[in-house]
Amino acid sequence: MTIKFPLVIDGQWRAGSSNESQAVLNPATGESLGLVAHATLADLDEALAAATRGMREWQVVSPWERGTILKKAADILRANIDSAARTITLEQGKPLAESKGEVGRSADFLEWGGEQARRISGRFLRGRDTGHRIEIETHPVGVVAAFTPWNFPMALAAKKFAGALGAGCSIICKPSEETPGSVLVLAKALLDAGVPPAAIGVVFGRPDEISSYLIPAPAVAKVTFTGSIPVGKLLAATAGKAMKPVTMELGGHAPTIVCADVDPEKVADFLAKAKFTNAGQICLSPTRFFVEESVRERFTTRLAQHAKAWRVGDGLDPQTQMGPLANERRVHAMSHLVDDTLGKGGKVAAGGQRIGDRGFFFAPTVLAHVPDDAEILRSEPFGPVVPVLGFTDEDAMLSLANGLEFGLSGYVFTNDASRQQRIKDSLHFGTVGVNDVATHIPEVPLGGWKESGYGTEGGIEILEPYQKTKFLSIR
């Protein structure tokens, strides 16, 4: 039976008015799971009208009650974690255990957004003269247009729903057409919990057509996007023409520095798991490995052993450690990066090729003796490919680590306290891990430096991107 992935507009789960759709593929098999509906411009007009009405209905719900509703939605997700996780694995590919973790983190984001909603407050100041007082109020910014990717299809949408709905905004979400079911599960939990039907919209279609129509729409007050730097720049430019605020969480290319004072085998054990989680398809993933020369060979050997032994397969198989890549494009991208490195004199220490002819599997790969002009050192791989470089000069290494446009995350592994301080302070990234690789959890704000975006999501600041202030001068 073919699954239908519908639009959600004003509480109605329906096809687009043109009945146009596209196939959703299972990346483990390459076979179709079902069809996702495409919205027409008329459908988008309906979504905008509903969101405008939903904004009026939702913003008058007390922050305390908004918190209650978001907490209930989180509980609904947790109660249905098995079926929700299966949806993620079928359409995205990651192992079922990772999908369960994503559902749990999505629930945590909703709950956190609801808790922060209950803390919405203003400020009171005494005026400069008798009979004068000043008040500062916070208000929801308005209708939010959210654009979310396929790598963490539920959690990255949940962050935006939590912040927007917690602040009192309505939201129209345009998820990836490759992973539609995950956000539909999220939307159903929110609606079942009591969010007004008009306050939530989910639309699919041609990404450029939808973004170019929603972002300039007068009803939309705020744009939030998670994805690549080139697409983020295009969306931000469109929003800028209408002076609309944006939150951009864009790509990363995380330098991962391994110093000689650590146990290289133990660090390789840790980083193998961090790197091959979600097949490396994580913006925060460690991607450029700078290993001090005296331990480089030991580190590379151990990492390659992990790559060769990692169990790759269907995410529904409980023995699987790494699932397929999410789509055929990523397979071709990995092959290109490996071929480019080999063509310029690099070596493959493990992997380096597609696995099988069914589904989108690519072997966990370790590249050694990577030349300075290899494309993988400049382009975010977004996959299970690790370039390892040796270094002896710390300053020269830090210049390379900071030398790209990316500024999302960076990592350093050293037990030397003074070196920890020196290197972490030198890394120009919004997230830095010291003997750790970061995961975005709700209680911390995540944001990129340089071209990896601006604004943050999460933390006690989770509502701020979706709020505006009003200054009252009263006599």
Q: In this structure, is residue 445 part of a structural domain?
A: no
Give the residue numbers spanning the domain of 285: 254-434
Q: Indicate if 9 and 24 belong to the same structural domain.
A: yes
* pLDDT tens across the length of the chain (475 residues): 679 999 999 999 999 999 999 999 999 999 999 999 999 999 999 999 999 999 999 999 999 999 999 999 999 999 999 999 999 999 999 999 999 999 999 999 999 999 999 999 999 999 999 999 999 999 999 999 999 999 999 999 999 999 999 999 999 999 999 999 999 999 999 999 999 999 999 999 999 999 999 999 999 999 999 999 999 999 999 999 999 999 999 999 999 999 999 999 999 999 999 999 999 999 999 999 999 999 999 999 999 999 999 999 999 999 999 999 999 999 999 999 999 999 999 999 999 999 999 999 999 999 999 999 999 999 999 999 999 999 999 999 999 999 999 999 999 999 999 999 999 999 999 999 999 999 999 999 999 999 999 999 999 999 999 999 999 999 9
Residues recorded for the chain: 475
Residues 275 and 288 grouped into a single domain: yes
Same domain? 415 vs 272: yes
Are 331 and 192 within one domain? no
Q: Which residues are catalytic?
A: 249, 283
The structural domain count of the chain equals: 2
Task: Note whether residue 320 is domain-resident.
Answer: yes
Angstrom distance (rounded) from CA 22 to CA 41: 17
Where do the DSSP E strands lie in 141-285?
Answer: 143-147, 171-174, 200-202, 220-226, 246-249, 254-258
Q: Is residue 440 a part of any domain in this protein? A: no
pTM over 0.75: yes
Contact between 437 and 280 (Cβ < 8 Å): no
**Does 50 map to a domain?**
yes
Strands 431-434 and 409-413: parallel
CA proximity to 388, closest of 291, 254, 247, 261 = 291
Residues 147 and 275 in one domain: no
Same domain, residue pair 349 and 458: no
Whether residues 238 and 279 fall in one domain: no
Q: Are strands 220-226 and 409-413 parallel, antiparallel or unpaired?
A: unpaired
Residue 29 lies in a domain: yes
Q: Establish if 410 belongs to a structural domain.
A: yes
CB atoms within 10 A of CB 317: 14
| C-alpha neighbours within 13 Å on the C-beta side of residue 13 | 12
The CATH number covering residue 291 comes to 3.40.309.10
CATH number, domain containing residue 96: 3.40.605.10
My answer on whether 222 and 350 are in the same domain is no
